[in-house]
Every structure is written in C-alpha cells, then in structure tokens.
Amino acid sequence: MEDNHKKALVCGAGGFIGGHLCQRLKDEGYWVRGVDIKEHEYRKSAADDFVLGDLRDQRVCKKIVSDIQFDELYQLAADMGGAGYIFTGEHDAVVMHNSATINLNMAEEANRTGIKNIFYSSSACIYPEAIQLECDNPGLKESDAYPAGPDSEYGWEKLFSERMYLAYHRNFGMEVHIARFHNIFGPYGTWDGGREKAPAAMCRKVAETPEGGEIEIWGDGEQTRTFLYIDECLNGIRRLMESDFLGPVNIGSDELISINNLARMAMSIAGKNLSIKHISGPLGVRGRSSDNTLIEEKLGWRPATKLLDGMRVTYKWIAEQVKKRA
C-alpha cells in the first residue's frame, strides 16, 4: 500500500451502494478496504482489500481497524430491504438489533482509533408517517424529522443511530456527516427475491413479461415516491464528506412519480405494452419526496440526473440478468 493514498473503510461494501462507492473511491485514488457479511452478489469488489465479517461482532470491528489508520469511514452496513422486508413487521426485532449493533460497534471503533471523517447513511424512512399521507407530497425537509414518528422500526433505528453519531460528535469531537437517502436505484443492485426496491421490481416485471401480458403492482399504484440514480447518490456522499457540514441532509431526487407511472416508464423503455393488475401488499407511506433546499444551500449542489435516464441504464442491466437466468 502506498502511504500517500487516502485510506477509506467501507462497511456494507458487498451491498448495492457500498459496492458502487468502493469503485468510486478507487477511481478517486483511494486505498479501500471493504467489509461485509457477504460478497457482492453481482460483481467483484473494487476494494483493494475485501474482508468477509459480521459487524455485529465487536471483535471483527476491532480487527478491521487495527492494522491501518483510516482517514475515512463510510458506514453503510444495515439489515435492510424493500417494502416486502421492512413493512410486514415480521423482521422488526432483527432489523433493529442488527443495525443498531453494527452502528454502536463502528462508532466506538472509529472514535477509539481516531478515524477523522465518518459518513453515516440514514434514510428518508426516518420522517414521520403523519406528514406523508398524501400522494402529492411537497418534499420532506430535514427539520420535518421531529416530532418523530417513522412508519417502520427500520426508520426508528436510523433515527437512533443519527442521534448517536451526533452525540459522538458533541462529546468526542468526531467529525460525522449524515445523509438521509431517498430510494437509490441503479444497476448492480438487488432486482429480485423480495428485497428489491420499486424501480428494480418494475424493470424486472416488465423484462420478464411478454408483450401483451400483465404485471402486478401492490396497492392502487397511485402512491408516489422519488428515486435517485446511484451516480448522483455517490456525488452527494463525496461532496458531503469533503464539506464541514454534518447534516443530517437529504440525498434524494424531487422528481415525484406514482408507481403506476414508474411501471409505464419501464414499459416504454422496453417498448412493451402490458396491463397492470393491482393486488394487496405492503405499501409504506402514501407519498414521499425530497426537499433539496438544504443540500443546495450547504453544498451548492443538488442532483440533476433525470429519472428516465437512470431507469434506461437500470432496465438494460436487469433485462440482461433476466435473460441470463432464463
């Protein structure tokens, strides 16, 4: 390892965003260690050193920071999934226990070893359910987080961990940067199996269904969301880490779309005409969008990539996966 390289530790490197982040940091000249409980499912990690380990185990957390003085830690490891995993209630205890333990361990190890710069990935799921009951959500501002009332235990754990990292900042001077991601999507992410998010699910359903067929959508499909393409998410993470702004700050898009229209977008990219059947299923909030005033004010930047452009790239990759599997 050359000593003039900045050294970054990426927790959750075997996951969707962590996998892309390792590549991005490598492209920027970092030396990168990635850690995850599993290998990346869809490609070889770009990290210089990839450690398979369970971050719930404090001995593992100690070991990964013992031989190198890291300049930066990106903590993205979490027990998460799409609506099918988080909103049924069946995984609540496990989700809270696993993610909180990882964060407790890593905050402590980062502080103990003096890692200067820490990034923590929170989520739009921390925002109160009560202000997301309408489809035409005006955009969630960071200050809307309190009084708190997330609609999932996943969101409550994220809120707890935000507060814990901020407490480490206040009490120990740890430099933390917290982002609340809003539905990040793109290639090399989960696209089937129940943990996939709406853009990947729509691309898969459309890719799997022959012309004239039917796809299923949970609920009436009028629920709205915004989706941010992965490259813009990485731009936001890196800008936040280079700044002296702690956050929490939204990293999300403000291009609101209903799930029905997202499905139609995937159909038009594929050049297919399919009908939509609405079925019951876990839904989450009715409408959610990102207000990007704060990020623009603090970092002089807001994401600009259009949903359609990100969906084109994502559809192409998922259609290839569907073909390979067939």
Question: Which residues does the annotation mark as catalytic?
Answer: 154
**Least separation in angstroms between CB 81 and ligand NAD:** 7
- Closer CB to ligand NAD, residue 209 or residue 250? 250
Rounded distance between C-alpha atoms, residue 251 and residue 232, angstroms: 9
Using CB under 6 A, list all residues that contact ligand NAD. Answer: 12, 14-18, 36-38, 54-56, 76-80, 98, 102, 121, 123, 181, 183-184, 197
Nearest CA among 74, 57, 73, 61 for reference residue 17: 74
User: Distance between CA atoms of 186 and 233, rounded to whole angstroms?
Assistant: 10
Taking the CB of residue 45, how many other CB atoms lie within 10 A of it? 20
CA distances from 237 to 57, 250, 258 (A): 26, 10, 26
Please identify the residue of the shown chain whose CB is closest to the bound ligand NAD. Answer: 15
CA distance 10 to 19: 9
Closest to ligand NAD by CB, 46 vs 77, is 77
Q: How far is the CB of 56 from ligand NAD (least distance, A)?
A: 5
Query: Measured from the CB atom, is 184 or 285 closer to ligand NAD?
Result: 184
What's the min distance (Å) between Cβ of 226 and ligand NAD?
Answer: 11
If residue 315 lies in a helix (H) or strand (E), which one and from where to where?
helix 307-325
- Closest alpha carbon to 321 in 194, 200, 183, 195: 200
Q: Which is nearer to ligand NAD, 55 or 118 (CB)?
A: 55
CB of residue 92 to ligand NAD, shortest distance in Å: 15
33, 23 contact by CB (below 8 A): no
